[in-house]
Amino acid sequence: MRNFAALLLLLVTTSLPAQENTCQSLLTRKGLSQRASVPIGSCGNCHTGSTLSPLLAARLGNPEGNRWIRGDEILIWLGQKTTPDNPQAENSKDLSAIDRHSQAWTSLRSKTAEQMGKVLGKPNQLHRDPACLACHSSLPVYELEKDSAGLVSANYETDIRLTSGVSCEGCHGPAGDSLGADGPQKPGWGTAHVSPDNWRYLTPAEKCDHGYYDVRSVVSRTRLCVSCHVGNAELGRVITHEMYAAGHPPLPPFELQTFEQQMPRHWQEYHEKPQDMRTRFEAQTSYQPAEPTELKTRELLISALVTWSESLKLTADLAEQKTVVDFVKSPWPEFAQFDCYACHHDLRHDGWRQQSQVRGRPGRPRLTPWPATLAELAWQITTTDPGSGSSAPLAGFASVQQASVAAPFGDTVELMTATRSAAAAADQLIDRLQNTPLTAQQQQAVSTALLQKGTSGTVDYDSARQLAWSWLLLNSTDQNRQSLFPELFLQLHQGRAEADPIPGSENLSVTVIRIDPALSLPPIANYDPISFRKAFEALSQSPPPRTP
């Protein structure tokens, strides 16, 4: 597999139920800077085939195949097809399955990026702009050498650690040894995980000690994902109003499991792993697995609360202007934190934006509303006595809304206080939910609450998308049900396919699907809240049976 020898180490996300340690300190500037990124390595030895192939089985010391991991993780990342008859397929592209994270850096050389660069005064430079690379690469760009213009050195244009986009280390953490004044201090997970048996039974805390990010935990996984899909000021992962105005595609609302399916998934869920291996794992670790359907529902609620909390922290950090890296030019107020459609909307009398629930004073935009939609549902279900007949309001929501409209674009001091307080309340509930299974009554209450939200009043576009995604996630695997909400679904694999090589990787090219918002992101103008409400009303009349 010489074509893949130049890629970074990749360790498969096993997506086990939540663990106690979330390795929060690793997702910080200090945490990411304490370890080296691995040099061009040999991840293809284990992650570019099938664990059932005799060659890979022998390499992993298991004649019958490892089976704990898939073995074709990098092939999925690149959109390669494998079959039982050809487990080492290299040249059969499956554009419907390619992981767009592999195109994160190459997309910065697209025509869209070229036009954005011209508008921003950085023609043909976005692939070296740290404000873009913070999310479009796996390296901690604030640590990289920069030229006099503040751009990442041109020397990195052929460094596969950068040009492979969001690859192995982007999600699993820098895999190299820890860095110290006197040289390497502690082996990184890139070395430690090579022995499957020794690595597999370590606790999440022990793996974190090797720099491995705890992607088993839904809390850690969501925080990692939303650090780009929502934003993280400390890491410089901030999309600004200026970027949107220059042509950056709109960031859609985020729902963890829906996005994981769109990647597509390159790992096995715990309940999908072979029974004999699960039995041994549980005997070695005393681990007690959660029931899959309950876990899916609980992860939906936890990830919603994490997303809400992280969006609040981003607002507070941007308003405070203390933890933003120097390459993010985002003076407060940062308009991207507020409801876009309060200012940008169609000139239509009595349109849905006027009918949707407006909290605050007319003419003063509220914060982006969608992060609170599922968080509110999660709070109500997990903090309210089901027999009380009432629901608890989302902690801090009213204070945040009041602060955001107390003055045009919010009272800054009041907003910082309110957002940090609400985030702290959400974090407390998150900590409790990680290890507290939902009752059967609570699980059913989630679907009931989704139906109630979908049929009450006028729902804004992005909140409607979250409600539709969540309903289908929990209640059906039938893809035809997507026809109920045709204007709401992401089509991230639609676009124009072009071959684009990854610089620094010999004989390797990535088929880039250039972003075409008209295909990938359903136009908001197509959204009809009346049709959306009718679809949910129809579901409420005859809800489908829950499927694991």
- The three-state (H, E, C) secondary structure of 16-50, written as one string: CCCCCCCCHHHCCHHHHHCECCCCCCCCHHHHCCC
Q: Are 87 and 49 in contact (CB under 8 A)?
A: yes
Angle between helices 371-383 and 292-320 (to 10 degrees): 130
The SS3 call for residue 86 is: strand
H-state helical runs in 330-488: 352-355, 371-383, 397-405, 412-433, 440-455, 461-475
Nearest Cα neighbor of 186 from 213, 171, 161, 208 is 208
* pLDDT for position 508: 58
Query: Which residues fall within 8 angstroms of residue 190, CB to CB, at 6 or more apart?
Result: 9, 38, 41, 175, 176
Q: Report how far residue 299's alpha carbon sits from residue 288's, in angstroms, rounded to the nearest whole number.
A: 16
H-state helical runs in 321-370: 352-355
Residue type at 167 in one-letter notation? S
Q: Are 437 and 290 in contact (CB under 8 A)?
A: yes
Instruction: Output b/e per residue, 433-461; b: 16+ Cβ within 10 A.
Output: bbeeebeeebbbbbbebbbebbbeebbbb
- Considering all CA atoms of the chain, what is the largest pairwise distance in Å, rounded to the nearest integer? 69
Q: Report how far residue 27's alpha carbon sits from residue 220's, in angstroms, rounded to the nearest whole number.
A: 9
Instruction: Output b/e per residue, 36-53; b: 16+ Cβ within 10 A.
Output: bbbebbebbbbbbbbbeb
The SS3 call for residue 150 is: coil
* Whether residue 333 has a cis bond before it, omega within 30° of 0: yes
* pLDDT for position 325: 84
Query: Phi first, then psi: what are they for 338, rounded to 5°?
Result: -105, 165
* pLDDT for position 301: 98
pTM of structure: 0.89
String of DSSP letters for 154-192 = GGGGG-HHHHT-S-HHHHH---SPBP-TTS--S--HHHH
Residues of the chain with pLDDT under 70: 1-22, 39-42, 44-45, 49-66, 81-97, 180-184, 196, 346-360, 386-390, 476-483, 492-497, 506-522, 542-548
Residue 283, CA distances (Å) to 17, 160, 279, 287, 417 in order: 16, 40, 6, 7, 47
Q: Report how far residue 360's alpha carbon sits from residue 547's, in angstroms, rounded to the nearest whole number.
A: 40
Query: Which residues fall within 8 angstroms of residue 321, CB to CB, at 6 or more apart?
Result: 331, 332
Q: Report how far residue 92's alpha carbon sits from residue 83's, in angstroms, rounded to the nearest whole number.
A: 10
Local structure of residue 516 (DSSP, 8 states): -
Q: Report how far residue 368's alpha carbon sits from residue 463's, in angstroms, rounded to the nearest whole number.
A: 10
